[in-house]
Amino acid sequence: MPQTLNKVELDADVQEVARIMKAMSHPVRVYILKKLSHMDSCCYSGDLVEELPVGRSTLSQHLKELKYAGLIQGEVEPPYIKYCINYENWEKAKKLMKEFL
């Protein structure tokens, strides 16, 4: 259901752009997206912990935000989780951002 702000309906595209921009509003998340977008395969969260100046729980929150925005997807391979770009949503995000900008 569209949200309203001062009686103006915010359509799904506007809400989606906001979700994407929020997900990309932190340098760690931008780094994660950049890294994953240049990989041919998925990446384990443990590998990212080794590269980034954040703890495991903080990294987990950043990954959660990117997943919520639909920009990445995770696959559980106990005891690990590997992440990769959700290419369908990535293309949709690029289109939305191009229209927005």
Q: Is residue 38 part of a domain?
A: yes
- What CATH number does residue 20 fall under? 1.10.10.10
The answer to whether the beta carbons of residues 37 and 72 sit under 8 Å apart is: no
pLDDT of residue 7: 59
What mean pLDDT do residues 6-19 have? 82
Name the domain count of the chain.
1
- pTM attached to this predicted model: 0.83
Q: Give the mean model confidence (pLDDT) for residues 56-81.
A: 93
- In a domain, residue 78? The reply is yes
Question: Are the C-beta atoms of 28 and 52 separated by less than 8 Å?
Answer: yes
Sign of CA dihedral 68, 69, 73, 79: negative
